[in-house]
């Protein structure tokens, strides 16, 4: 009799033990109620680099990781190595440079010399000026790397000079709005966007015909322009409205207006992360805008008088020249990865049903337990309690039978 009771006890304990993995498997499918992730971190200034007198504008070559900063009162261009955050060369250019653009395909750098009414062409390999092209007064500029054409706004002439990068000659002049300032290019659509400060508009130029095909009303005194070629959105910094106008490149209409800091004088985009960086001259900071929501998601303090901004999409480093401090602030922005949903592959089923692969079944089980509102802690407690009940029940039953026997 005692041997029989001992056998019963063993069977009950064994059943409770075997039940534990089953319950634990439910917990494993459920997963934690909330996932705690290490903070991705806010955009942070990681370095401050001394450059020349009154830095005015910035551009970079993502292929060489070199950053180019015109120094308005020196007049020179500081060449910064992005790996070490140090100035590795200084190049003499024309009078009062303010504005710079880079063709990464040719490794040529184009510097707008305000008082000289010219563009200095620098060879990025040798850091020497290889050509000087005469244009209008107080120019700003942008490059289409696909066509190797450089577009130069002439503030005093209400026009855009088009330079052929192969010959370094002006091949066309396009009339636009009054008091032209910033300019940007979408190389995918071959459209050029020119900020007309005097008319509070943006002129849209077709690169093929070199004619204005649209004029878009924006905020007061638009100063800088940037383009996201992936989304075909254009961002215009309105220096007197303290805002950024968002233009849809397909319809040439303003689809959003983003309030930012004081006197935005520069705007740049990381097309990979779809984040927009706006340099605010008189609030000494940079607004970080999410391109999907058109909302300011962070504000980063920099030096005094930030005058322009550039982004290296490969490193996601942002470079901001501080006009009043003679420095460049280097911002690092760690962008959280975007989760990519996986679509389970359907397998032929039985009786008209579609059978999911094991991974998808686990996902469905996890989703169903999430809907029930049970937490991982509750399921863990259930497993422990179930095992304890099985063992205690077995012990009680054995004791009772032992006494009866």
3-state DSSP call for residue 391? Answer: helix
Rounded-to-integer distance, Cα 392 and Cα 124, Å? 80
Q: What is the pLDDT of residue 35?
A: 28
3-state DSSP call for residue 384? Answer: helix
Q: What is the pLDDT of residues 312-332, one digit of tens each?
A: 999 999 999 999 999 999 999
Is the pLDDT confidence value at 124 over 80?
A: yes
Q: Is residue 315 packed enough to be buried (19+ CB in 10 Å), middle (13-18) or exposed (0-12)?
A: middle
Is the pLDDT confidence value at 294 over 50?
A: yes
Contact yes or no for 331/308 (Cβ under 8 A): no
Mean pLDDT of 391-400: 45
Q: What is the pLDDT of residue 391?
A: 44
Q: Using alpha carbons, select from 222, 185, 231 the residue that is nearest to residue 205.
A: 185
Q: Which domains does the chain have, with CATH numbers?
A: 2-36+345-404 (no CATH), 44-332 (2.130.10.10)
Q: What are the structure tokens assigned to 360, written together?
A: 């998808």
Mean pLDDT of 18-36: 35
Q: What is the pLDDT of residue 193?
A: 98
Is the pLDDT confidence value at 3 over 50?
A: no
Q: What is the pLDDT of residues 145-163, one digit of tens each?
A: 999 999 999 998 899 999 9
Q: What is the pLDDT of residue 32?
A: 33
Q: What is the pLDDT of residues 161-193, one digit of tens each?
A: 999 999 999 999 999 999 999 999 999 999 999
Is the pLDDT confidence value at 82 over 60?
A: yes
Peptide bond between residue 75 and the one before it cis (omega within 30 degrees of 0)? yes
Rounded-to-integer distance, Cα 245 and Cα 219, Å? 7
Mean pLDDT of 270-292: 96
Q: What is the pLDDT of residues 341-354, one digit of tens each?
A: 444 333 333 333 33
With the C-alpha atoms ordered 160, 164, 165, 168, is the resulting torsion angle positive or negative?
A: negative
Q: What is the pLDDT of residue 337?
A: 57
Rounded-to-integer distance, Cα 305 and Cα 272, Å? 28
Distance of CA 381 to the CA centre of its chain: 44
* DSSP 8-state code for residue 339: P
Counting Cα atoms < 13 Å in the Cβ hemisphere of 151 gives: 33
Distances (CA, A) of 16 to 11, 23, 79: 9, 11, 72
Other residues' Cβ atoms within 10 Å of the Cβ of residue 22: 10
Peptide bond between residue 65 and the one before it cis (omega within 30 degrees of 0)? no
């Amino acid at each position: 009799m005692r041997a029989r009771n001992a056998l019963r006890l063993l069977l009950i304990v064994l059943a409770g033990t075997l039940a534990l993995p089953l319950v634990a498997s439910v917990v494993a499918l459920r997963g934690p109620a909330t996932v705690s992730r290490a903070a991705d971190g806010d955009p942070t200034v990681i370095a401050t680099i001394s450059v020349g007198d009154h830095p005015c504008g910035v551009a970079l070559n993502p292929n060489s990781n070199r950053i180019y900063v015109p120094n308005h009162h020196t007049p020179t261009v500081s060449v910064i190595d992005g790996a070490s955050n140090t100035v590795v060369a200084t190049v003499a250019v024309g009078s009062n440079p303010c504005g710079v653009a880079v063709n990464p395909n040719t490794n040529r750098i184009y510097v707008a010399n305000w008082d000289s009414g010219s563009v200095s062409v620098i060879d990025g390999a040798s850091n020497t000026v290889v050509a000087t092209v005469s244009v209008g007064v107080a120019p700003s500029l942008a490059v289409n790397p696909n066509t190797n054409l450089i577009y130069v706004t002439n503030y005093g002439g209400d026009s855009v000079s088009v330079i052929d990068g192969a010959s370094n000659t002006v091949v066309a002049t396009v009339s636009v709005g009054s008091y032209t300032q910033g300019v940007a290019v979408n190389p995918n659509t071959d459209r050029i966007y020119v900020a007309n400060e005097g008319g509070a508009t943006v002129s849209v130029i077709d690169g093929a015909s070199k004619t204005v095909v649209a004029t878009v009303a924006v905020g007061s005194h638009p100063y800088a322009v940037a383009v996201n070629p992936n989304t075909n959105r254009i961002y215009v910094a309105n220096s007197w409205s303290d805002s950024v106008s968002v233009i849809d490149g397909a319809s040439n209409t303003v689809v959003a207006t983003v309030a930012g800091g004081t006197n935005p004088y520069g705007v740049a985009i990381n097309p990979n992360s779809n984040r927009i960086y706006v340099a605010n001259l008189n609030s000494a900071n940079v607004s970080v805008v999410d391109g999907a929501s058109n909302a300011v998601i962070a504000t980063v303090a920099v030096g005094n008088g930030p005058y322009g901004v550039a982004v290296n999409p490969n490193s996601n480093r942002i470079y901001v020249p501080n006009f009043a401090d003679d420095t460049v602030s280097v911002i690092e922005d760690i962008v959280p990865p975007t989760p990519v949903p996986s679509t389970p592959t359907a397998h032929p089923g039985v009786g008209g049903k579609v059978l999911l692969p094991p991974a998808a079944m686990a996902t469905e089980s996890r989703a169903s337990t999430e809907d029930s509102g049970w937490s991982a802690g509750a399921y863990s407690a259930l497993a422990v309690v179930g095992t304890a009940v099985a063992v205690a029940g077995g012990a009680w039953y054995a004791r009772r039978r032992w006494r009866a026997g």
